[in-house]
């Protein structure tokens, strides 16, 4: 790669450039571990696919801590386990604190700490990229909550897990990947999605430790995350406007069971999809 005022620089390419792409710029940066990276800014003539007129495959996604994502198709994706990476990072940080600041040993241990940070970041982003790519490519409409993540992280208690969940990152990934794939992306008002009954609309207060939604009005019961996902999808379809799907999931069928997918499966296969899904049961 040729850089002005520097000349030819040998590189290891991550992947080949598209034949019809025009390089508009390059950003060169040095990571804390000492490696140099060049990010190319490309412009391609390809326009994103047109969004469909009819919504045949729609999904609402409720994000959380116990289950990272619960959707209206009856799939619950478990949270990513990074306990091993965190343990190695903490051990490396303790070793760094024992070194004399500025010494050669300190510098080598600093690089080790930086590598542990990079391992943790890459594992989490790999999981988020694969999960968001699956939803963007498999559905015509993806509905999510428009979360104020900064305010949620500042709430007392469990802030470390809320920050580690990186909800704002996965929502940004979903938005640009849906645009790339020609999929509708709708972020809806999050208030009341857990309290509201997806079958009849009655709101019922429930503390966080109550994991089942049970409507005192219509008698509908379901996992609270699945109920919230259906409310998110219903709001998304309504927010998208007239001329789209006239039937909301709450008017047809609601899931009473789900398939649980470990986060490890998403990382290994690049998709949370299962061979068999639990068929949604009628709300009756």
Above 80 in pLDDT, residue 151?
no
Average pLDDT of the chain to the nearest whole number: 80
Above 90 in pLDDT, residue 255?
no
Query: Residue 143's pLDDT is what?
Result: 92
Q: How confident is the model at residue 108 (pLDDT cuts 50, 70, 90)?
A: very high
Query: Percent helix, strand, coil in the chain (nearest 5)?
Result: 35, 20, 40
Above 50 in pLDDT, residue 97?
yes
Above 70 in pLDDT, residue 158?
no
The tokens for 56 are 């045949």
Domain boundaries, the chain: 1-46, 49-269
Query: Residue 209's pLDDT is what?
Result: 75
Q: How far apart are CA 64 and CA 38, in angstroms?
A: 35
Torsion region of 65: left, alpha or beta (phi above 0 gives left; psi -120 to 50 gives alpha): alpha
**If you ran DSSP here, which 8-state letter would residue 80 be given?**
P
Q: How confident is the model at residue 177 (pLDDT cuts 50, 70, 90)?
A: very high
The residue with tokens 């990382």 is 267
Query: Residue 101's pLDDT is what?
Result: 92
Determine how β-strand 259-261 pairs with β-strand 75-78: parallel
- Is 225 annotated in the active site? yes
Query: What secondary structure does DSSP assign to 115-181, as a single string?
Result: HHHHHHHHHHHHHHHHHHHHHHHH-SEEEEE---HHHHHHSSSSHHHHHHTTHHHHHHHHHHHHHHH
Query: Residue 167's pLDDT is what?
Result: 79
Q: What percent of the chain has pLDDT over 70?
A: 83
Q: How confident is the model at residue 282 (pLDDT cuts 50, 70, 90)?
A: very low
- Is 145 annotated in the active site? yes
Q: How confident is the model at residue 279 (pLDDT cuts 50, 70, 90)?
A: very low
Closest to 46 (Cα-Cα) out of 14, 18, 15: 18
Catalytic residue among 71, 73, 145, 223: 145
Q: How confident is the model at residue 219 (pLDDT cuts 50, 70, 90)?
A: confident
Catalytic residue among 85, 181, 196, 225: 225
The whole-number average pLDDT for the span 40-69 is 84
Above 90 in pLDDT, residue 90?
yes
The residue with tokens 């963007």 is 136
Above 90 in pLDDT, residue 83?
no
Least trusted range by pLDDT, from 63-77, 89-103, 138-152, 179-193 = 138-152
Q: How far apart are CA 220 and CA 283, in angstroms?
A: 7
Closest to 274 (Cα-Cα) out of 256, 260, 264: 260
Query: Residue 241's pLDDT is what?
Result: 77
């Amino acid at each position: 790669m040729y850089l002005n005022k520097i000349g030819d620089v040998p590189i290891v390419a991550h992947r080949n450039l598209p034949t019809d792409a025009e390089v508009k710029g390059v950003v060169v940066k040095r990571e804390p571990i000492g490696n140099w990276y060049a990010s190319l800014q490309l412009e391609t003539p390809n326009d994103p696919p047109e969004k469909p007129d009819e919504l045949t495959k729609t999904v609402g996604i409720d994000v959380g801590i116990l289950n990272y994502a619960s959707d209206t198709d009856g799939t619950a994706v478990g949270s990513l386990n990074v306990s091993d990476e965190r343990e190695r990072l903490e051990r490396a940080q303790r070793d760094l604190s024992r070194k004399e600041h500025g010494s050669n040993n300190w510098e080598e241990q600093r690089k080790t700490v930086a590598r542990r940070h990079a391992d943790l970041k890459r594992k989490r982003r790999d999981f988020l990229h694969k999960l968001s790519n699956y939803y963007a490519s498999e559905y015509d409409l993806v509905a999510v909550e428009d979360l104020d993540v900064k305010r949620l992280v500042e709430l007392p208690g469990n802030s470390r897990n809320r920050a580690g969940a990186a909800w704002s990152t996965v929502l940004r990934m979903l938005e640009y990947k849906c645009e790339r794939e020609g999929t509708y992306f709708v972020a809806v008002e999050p208030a009341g999605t857990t309290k509201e009954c997806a079958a009849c609309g009655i709101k019922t207060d429930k503390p966080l430790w109550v994991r089942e939604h049970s409507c005192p009005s219509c008698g509908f019961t379901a996992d609270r995350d699945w109920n919230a996902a259906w409310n998110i999808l219903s709001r998304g379809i309504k927010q998208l406007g007239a001329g789209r799907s006239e039937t909301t999931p709450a008017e047809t069928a609601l899931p009473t069971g789900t398939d649980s997918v470990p986060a490890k499966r998403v990382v290994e296969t690049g998709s949370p999809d299962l061979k068999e899904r639990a068929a949604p049961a009628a709300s009756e």
